[in-house]
A and B are shown apart, each in its own frame.
Chain A
Amino acid sequence: MSSHDTQHAHHDHHGHDDLGIHATFGGYMTGFVASVILTVIPFWLVMGHVIAKSSTAAVVILALAAVQIVVHMIYFLHMNAKSEGGWNMLALVFTIVLVVITLSGSIWIMYHLNNNMMPLMNPANLP
């Protein structure tokens, strides 16, 4: 009970600082300019048919998207290793692990499943 009281008092006294996030104009503008550049480049690549090879273009688009997501995380979502005592970063790392397993696992397995199923599904290959 006493720990709850002190926490509450702390909250009242430092209502402003309690949020723990100190956004700055420079930070937001850096993030905004970077994400505009990182958005324009992939749109230009695809709409201007700059890269002829599809697989190369796809890799470039995914790489730019990954960089842009990091930019958003740092400048808009104010992520760093110390916020909320490190628990934010821990939850993020855990989620990224799950997301990578979900995405790569699904695409990998279903790709092989398709490869194995296709000859049977194709009427031309039936005896």
Chain B
Amino acid sequence: MSELSTSYPASGATAPPLAFYETTESHVPNGTLLGFWVYLMSDCLIFACLFATYGVLGREYAGGPSAAEVLELPAVAVNTSLLLLSSITYGFAVLEMQRDRQRSMMIWLAITGLLGAGFITLELREFAHLISIGAGPQRSAFLSSFFTLVGTHGLHVTCGILWLIVLMTQVAKKGLIPANKRRLMCLSMFWHFLDVVWVGVFSFVYLMGVLP
């Protein structure tokens, strides 16, 4: 033992200390947001497959109603405005979160949730109307792909609303602790991502679908 400790400084003066990891490479300070981004990208691939399915089958009406006959653009315009407004209200909530103003942040979050709920209500009414006139998902390949794509987006928004409610409960109980702020930023990315997908839906499915 004593022999080792006496002989070590002689060689240690020239040899660098052992290191088993990279010390020069920069690392991401908080990996959660990056990990969530990677999840969103994988979600993006799901939607890409559904968009491709709709792109292939969107004009296969099988003698059933065409997109121009069943899709109502005014309702979609209202839906689009609701989702766009909910994006900016979530943005305002994030701004309040940065200033640690919990109360006004909660109000903006509640407004965001209500706008999202309005979006889902309108979408469900549209689905119920389509099914009631015999244009359900089993009618034609167009309607199958339509219901799958739009329904998957609606399901995402529903999950986003549930997540929003859970987060508001957590913030109400524990306040704006760093963990809650991280979660709010994740939901912010999720919510804005759904708005990005909806841009694709209303352009590719609704607006291009009703073109003659």
A→B interface (CB under 8 Å): 3, 7, 10-12, 14-16, 18-25, 28-29, 31-32, 35-36, 39, 42-43, 45-47, 54, 57-58, 61-62, 64-65, 68-69, 72-73, 76-77, 84-85, 87-88, 91-92, 94-95, 98-99, 102-103, 105-107, 110
Q: How many residue pairs between the two chains, A and B, have CB atoms under 8 Å in the bound complex?
A: 145
Name the residue on A nearest B201 (C-beta): A65
Majority SS at the chain B contact face: helix
Category for how many chain B residues contact A = 35 or more
CB pair A58–B38 under 8 Å, yes or no, is no
Q: Do A88 and B199 touch across chains, with their CB atoms under 8 A apart?
A: no
Partner among A10, A19, A24, A94 whose Cβ is within 8 Å of the Cβ of B33: A19
Which of these, A3, A72, A95, A107, contacts B41 with CB under 8 Å? Answer: A95
Q: Which residues of B contact A (CB under 8 A)?
A: 21, 26-30, 33-34, 37-38, 41, 44-45, 48-49, 51-53, 55-56, 73-74, 77, 80-81, 84, 87-88, 91-92, 94-95, 98, 177-178, 181-182, 185, 189, 192-193, 195-196, 199-200, 202-204, 207-208, 210-212
CA distance A57 to B26 in the complex (A): 47
